[in-house]
Amino acid sequence: MARITAGIACSHVPAIGVAMDQGITDQPYWQPVFKGFEFSRKWNEENKPDVVFLVYNDHCTAFDASVIPTFAIGCAADFTPADEGFGPRPVPVVKGHQKLASHIAQSVILDEFDLTIMNEMEVDHGLTVPLSVMFGDRKPGDDWGTLVIPLAVNVVQYPAPTANRCYNLGKAIRRAIDSYPEDLNVHIYGTGGMSHQLQAERAGLINAEWDQNFMDMLVNEPDKARKIDHVEFLRETGSEGIEMVMWLVMRGALDEKVTEVHRHYHVPASNTAVGHLILENHG
């Protein structure tokens, strides 16, 4: 049977990908950011997943203002890195697991969560940056080392889904994966955040105390974290902090009790707080 063995929370700051692509990760500004992922890459090698179920948000590449699905699952055989204005990132094409993705789509929809099924979709930094920090430098033509199922969540245009809705969706995804008959080691990623605002009067906002408390809640009190409303996310973490609802999808798919094996937090990275957790299921 397929099983989720771990959950990874990870900021997907686009400048992190740029630093890797340009080979400047050893510069003083970037060193503390990437040092926090050294353990993660070693752990990833020792606990290599067959499939990564990666929850992220699209940044107006696959979708624009004409069509914005709340939840969209990628069921394609592959997903090409998108051109985000400066050309696509020089990273490998992302390979999907179509059979598992289709199984999850059917299970979750029949579990009364409406998903948009994407049989063709480009992916942007929201998905490729977390893969890069966990799997290391990969170039076009390389292999990521895992198959990936993308789940795009709308946190760009109001209304975004609530933290509670995302947490419950994670539980539905867990039920779907648990019922898949093939023996697969699955990791689930929740990406985005942490606190940051990129525009208007509060541009540059970072709330380190709130971020750390949120990570504590996510690990030990997920029922408390799932009750955080949109107003609190906006007030405490800035307009882009709402991305953290995607961490709740990841947490909902894990056991009630988890083991925190790694935490990394650093500010700033391109005016953003970088947060990262590795959580293992007890089973």
Q: What are the backbone dihedrals phi and psi of residue 191, each rounded to the nearest 5 degrees, phi first?
A: -120, 170
Ramachandran sector of residue 204 (left: φ over 0; alpha: ψ -120 to 50; beta: rest): left
Catalytic residue, chosen from 12, 97, 103, 196, is 196
* Calpha distance 274→266 (Å, rounded): 5
**In this predicted structure, what is the pLDDT of residue 86?**
86
pTM for the complete prediction?
0.97
Give the mean pLDDT of 7-28: 97
The pLDDT of residue 282: 81
Q: What is the mean pLDDT of the chain?
A: 97
DSSP string, 16-71: HHHHHHTT-TTSTTTHHHHHTTHHHHHHHHHT--SEEEEEE---SSS-BTTB--SE
Token pair 């959580």 is found at 279
Q: Catalytic site residue 103?
A: no
The predicted-structure confidence for 33-87, as pLDDT tens digits, reads as follows: 999 999 999 999 999 999 999 999 999 999 998 999 999 999 999 999 999 988 9
* Chain segment 174-203, per-residue pLDDT in tens: 999 999 999 999 999 999 999 999 889 999
- Judged by phi (left if over 0) then psi (alpha if -120 to 50, else beta), residue 120 lies in beta
**CA 194 distance to own-chain centroid:** 11
Instruction: Report CA-CA distances (Å) from 29 to 16, 26, 39, 126, 266.
Output: 11, 8, 19, 21, 11
Amino acid of residue 168 = N
Residue 283 has pLDDT above 70, yes or no: no
Is residue 187 part of the annotated active site? The answer reads: no
Report residue 104's pLDDT band, with 50, 70 and 90 as the boundaries. very high
**Catalytic, out of 12, 97, 103, 125:** 125
Interstrand relation of 274-281 and 71-74 (parallel, antiparallel or unpaired): unpaired
Q: Could you report the per-residue pLDDT of 150-172, keeping only the tens digit for each?
A: 999 999 999 999 999 999 999 99
Q: Convert the pLDDT of each residue in 206-245 to its tens digit.
A: 999 999 999 999 999 999 999 999 999 999 999 999 999 9
Question: What one-character-per-residue DSSP string does 239-274 give?
Answer: TTGGGGHHHHHHHHTS-SSEEEEEEEEES-SSSS-E
Pairing of strands 147-153, 71-74: antiparallel
What pLDDT score does 181 carry? 98
